[in-house]
Amino acid sequence: MHQYKGKLIVHTGSMFSGKTSSLEKDVKRFNIAGYKTIAFKPSIDNRYRKNEIVTHDLTSMDCILVNDIDELLDYVDELEPDVIGIDEVQFLKGPVDRIISGIYKLLNKDITVVVAGLDMDYTGTPFEIVKELMPIADYLYKHHAVCIKCGNDAWVSHRKSKDTERIKIGAINEYEPLCRKCFLEEKSKTE
C-alpha cells in the first residue's frame, strides 16, 4: 500500500472547473485502496455545510477545517495519514513560504498531498500559493469550466458584482466562468 508515497498532486483552474471533484475523487480512490486519508479545508470557506468539502454539484466528503498550515501539521502528527487532501488551498492563512515548507515536510514524511486551488482571482491575478505549488507538483492538472458567453474553455472566474475585496465566497450567482476573450470584452465595457 505504500508505492504511492510522498507525491504532490495539484488540481487548479477557475471556479466551476471540477477541481474539488477531482480532489475528492483522488482522495476517495486512495481511501478505497486502503490508504489512511484525511481531507482539510481552510476555515474561511464556509459555503454550504461546515466540516464537509462540498463541490458545486453538491457531492460531499468529510473534512477538517484548519486556519493555517501549522494547524494542519498538528493534525497530521496526531492522525498519521498516508494521503491528505487540501481543498481551496488559496484560502490558507499565513505566509506562502511557510505553507510551502509545511507541504515539503509532509512530502518528506512520504505523505501524498492532493491540493485543489484557484489559479487566479476574479481579476486574472494569480494566487501566490498556487503559483508556487504548480512547478513543484509531481502531477499537475489544469481544469477548465465552460465560458458562459461563448462555450470555449473558460480562463477566469469573473465576478459579476462591483465588489473589489480579493476573497469573496460565492457560488454561481456571484461568479461566471469566462474565456480570456470574453473576460477582456467584459472588462472593457466596465472601464
Contact residues: Zn ion, CB under 5 A: 147, 149-150, 152, 179, 182
CB of 14 to Zn ion, least distance (A): 12
Give the nearer residue to Zn ion in terms of CB position, either 38 or 147.
147
Contacts of 46 by beta carbon, 8 Å cutoff, 6+ apart: 169
Helix, strand, coil % (nearest 5) of the chain?
30, 25, 40
Residue whose C-alpha cell is 478505497: 32
- CB of residue 15 vs Zn ion: minimum separation in angstroms? 15
Give me the helices (H) in the chain, please: 19-32, 69-79, 96-108, 128-136, 180-190
Cα separation, 137 vs 11, in Å, equals 10
Asked if 165 is an active-site residue, the reply is: no
CB nearer to Zn ion: pick between 40 and 183: 183
Give whichever of 15 and 182 is closer to Zn ion, judged by the CB atom. 182
Residue 73 Cβ, how far from Zn ion at the closest point, in Å? 41
Which residue carries 489559479 as its cell? 119
Of 12 and 14, CB closest to Zn ion: 14
Catalytic residue among 24, 71, 78, 88: 88
- Give the 3-state secondary structure of residue 83: strand
Q: Which residues of 33-53 are buried (b: 16+ CB within 10 A; e: fewer)?
A: eebebbbbbbbebeeeeeeeb
Task: Indicate which residues carry an active-site annotation.
Answer: 88
